[in-house]
């Protein structure tokens, strides 16, 4: 089950010698996963509340997902978008069922989904300017946002650690203050084509848009003929207890970016575009070699099947509230270390009073894997099928880590 120690040493050495050093990785090598658990190469078990950064929505190696991917791998894996395949059509239908009337484009990652949204904004701007290019192209984003590492998304990500070294950026991005509608309204001018926000900022530190703010953005977009683009790459696909995190606000965006949880571990991204803008992408306007392969779509369909059949939205909603209440007790009991606990469902952030790295390390030593985020935030992102026992264990481990440093 576990590789011999010679393999363990080799993994560290291979990374050291051959893997690009753009990550400061902890000295942990993971070799196996089942449900909410993963094991390292020394045989230690961890409760994985990173879920691969909100990706492994069903936990690791869910039997329905594994069977669907194995079956499809033996049937048809890839043919490119020169051809139709049944599962891409079916997955698009299922996503339209969640998002509303419109159309879906498949890609392979959140970054790609965000690029597609930003290209959609450009096309909308051209239409708005009566067919003239370069007149209407500005996009208003939010401070502390994260929209991926590609040039468009990076330019929409106003964080020095993301943009440093890569200027000049794509022009036309300006930024308002999250939940301050006036700060967005003040930025609108004739050159504005769209507004993009994460319904709940993830990497920026679990900062939710209030329902009033989302409704205000919708009205602002309607008033000025702008597209409302919602980045649900992290907070979507059930993570907060509703399929999309914007649902409680009762708004309908013009387009949605998805990825992470959609494949349950298989790389897939998607955008849904509402009817108003769905005709903007005409043949040749955008494309992808890999996007929406039969194998990726089989994985996506398996995720939706399990979310529906195992009632995982209900699981997240029902277990999320009492879990959050327990986690908030930690903030109350250790105010010297925890400033605030916030979030919804299984998308939770602990704002610490200092650096997160020592906490991430201490939690891992206690058997809990958590993900860092901006603003000194430690994220807990359990799989959507986490059990009451696993959630309780996470509270116990977090409490012990806080008590040890008290
Ligand atoms: C992770 C993330 C992205 C980028 O997705 P990748 O798959 O890493 O390219 C974009 N937007 C949000 C909100 C994300 O959380």
| pLDDT grade for 214, boundaries at 50, 70 and 90 | very high
Give the CATH number of domain 66-309.
3.40.640.10
Give, as one character, the DSSP assignment of residue 89: H
Mean predicted lDDT score pLDDT of the chain: 97
Phi and psi (nearest 5°) for 38?
-130, 155
The pLDDT of residue 2: 55
The pLDDT of residue 406: 76
How would DSSP label each residue in 350-395? EEESS-SHHHHHHHHHTTEE-EEETTTEEEE---TT--HHHHHHHH
pLDDT tens by residue, 58-81 = 999 999 999 999 999 999 999 999
pLDDT tens by residue, 137-190 = 999 999 999 999 999 999 999 999 999 999 999 999 999 999 999 999 999 999
The pLDDT of residue 5: 60
Candidate of 259, 266, 267, 343 to mutate for ligand 1, largest count of ligand atoms within 8 Å of Cβ? 259
Q: For this structure, is 190 an active site residue?
A: no
Q: 231 alpha carbon to ligand 1 midpoint, in Å?
A: 9
Q: 233 alpha carbon to ligand 1 midpoint, in Å?
A: 6
Above 90 in pLDDT, residue 3?
A: no
Residue ranges around ligand 1 (CB below 6 Å): 109-111, 114, 146-148, 198, 202-203, 231, 233-234, 259-260
Closest atom of ligand 1 to 267 CA is 7
pLDDT tens by residue, 259-314 = 999 999 999 999 999 999 999 999 999 999 999 999 999 999 999 999 999 999 99
User: What does the block give as tokens for 314?
Assistant: 């209900």
How would DSSP label each residue in 210-254? PHHHHHHHHHHHHHHT-EEEEE-TTTTTTTTSSSSTTGGGT---S
User: What is the spatial distance between Cα 219 and Cα 213, in angstroms, rounded to a whole number?
Assistant: 10
**324 closest CA partner among 400, 376, 394:** 394
Q: Stretch 24-41: mean pLDDT, rounded? A: 92
Q: 257 alpha carbon to ligand 1 midpoint, in Å?
A: 9
Above 80 in pLDDT, residue 84?
A: yes
Above 70 in pLDDT, residue 8?
A: no
User: What is the spatial distance between Cα 199 and Cα 275, in angstroms, rounded to a whole number?
Assistant: 21
**Cβ partners under 8 Å of residue 287, min gap 6:** 81
The alpha carbon dihedral of 89, 90, 94, 97 has a sign of positive
User: What is the spatial distance between Cα 143 and Cα 162, in angstroms, rounded to a whole number?
Assistant: 13
Above 80 in pLDDT, residue 56?
A: yes
pLDDT tens by residue, 339-390 = 999 999 999 999 999 999 999 999 999 999 999 999 999 999 999 999 999 9
The alpha carbon dihedral of 68, 69, 70, 73 has a sign of positive
Above 60 in pLDDT, residue 237?
A: yes
User: What is the spatial distance between Cα 165 and Cα 152, in angstroms, rounded to a whole number?
Assistant: 15
The pLDDT of residue 27: 75
Closest residue by CA, ligand 1 atom 9: 111
Q: DSSP 3-state assignment of 159?
A: coil
Give the end-to-end CA distance of the chain in Å, rounded to a whole number: 38
Provide the percentage of residues in the chain whose pLDDT is more than 90.
Answer: 96
The pLDDT of residue 385: 98
Closest residue by CA, ligand 1 atom 5: 110
| pLDDT grade for 26, boundaries at 50, 70 and 90 | confident
Provide the percentage of residues in the chain whose pLDDT is more than 70.
Answer: 98
Above 70 in pLDDT, residue 96?
A: yes
**256 closest CA partner among 122, 102, 93, 87:** 102
């Amino acid at each position: 089950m576990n590789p011999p120690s010679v393999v363990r040493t080799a993994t560290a050495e291979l990374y050291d010698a051959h893997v690009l050093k753009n990550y400061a990785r902890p000295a942990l090598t993971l070799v196996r996963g089942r449900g909410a658990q993963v094991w390292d190469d020394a045989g230690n078990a961890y409760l994985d509340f990173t879920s691969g950064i909100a990706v492994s929505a069903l936990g690791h190696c869910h039997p329905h997902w594994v069977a669907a991917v194995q079956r499809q791998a033996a049937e048809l894996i890839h043919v490119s978008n020169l051809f139709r395949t049944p599962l891409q059509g079916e997955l698009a239908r299922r996503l339209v069922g969640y998002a509303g009337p419109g159309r879906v484009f498949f890609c392979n990652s959140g970054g790609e989904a965000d690029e597609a949204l930003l290209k959609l904004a450009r096309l909308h701007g051209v239409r708005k300017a009566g067919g003239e290019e370069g007149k209407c192209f500005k996009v208003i984003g939010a401070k502390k946002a994260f929209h991926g590492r590609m040039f468009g998304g990076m330019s929409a990500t106003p964080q020095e650690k993301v943009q440093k070294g890569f200027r000049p950026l794509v022009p036309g991005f300006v930024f308002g203050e999250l939940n301050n509608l006036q700060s967005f309204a003040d930025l609108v001018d004739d050159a504005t084509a769209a507004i993009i926000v994460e319904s709940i900022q993830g990497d920026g530190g679990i900062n939710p848009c209030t329902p009033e703010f989302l409704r205000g953005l919708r009205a602002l977009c309607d008033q000025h003929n702008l597209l409302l683009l919602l980045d649900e790459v992290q907070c979507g696909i059930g993570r907060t207890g509703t399929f999309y995190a914007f649902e409680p606000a009762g708004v309908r965006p013009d387009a949605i970016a998805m990825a992470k949880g959609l494949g349950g571990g298989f790389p897939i991204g998607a955008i849904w575009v509402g009817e108003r803008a769905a005709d903007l992408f005409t043949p040749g306007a955008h494309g992808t070699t890999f996007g929406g392969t039969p194998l990726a779509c089989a994985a996506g369909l398996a995720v939706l099947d399990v979310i529906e059949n195992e009632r995982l939205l209900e699981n997240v909603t029902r277990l999320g509230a009492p879990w959050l209440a327990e986690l908030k007790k930690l903030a109350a009991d250790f105010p010297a270390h925890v400033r605030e606990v916030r979030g919804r469902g299984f998308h939770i952030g602990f704002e610490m009073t200092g650096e997160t790295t020592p906490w991430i390390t201490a939690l891992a030593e206690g058997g809990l894997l958590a993900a860092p985020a901006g603003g000194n935030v430690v994220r807990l992102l359990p799989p959507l099928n986490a059990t009451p026992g696993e959630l309780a264990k996470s509270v116990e481990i977090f409490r012990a880590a806080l008590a040890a440093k008290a």
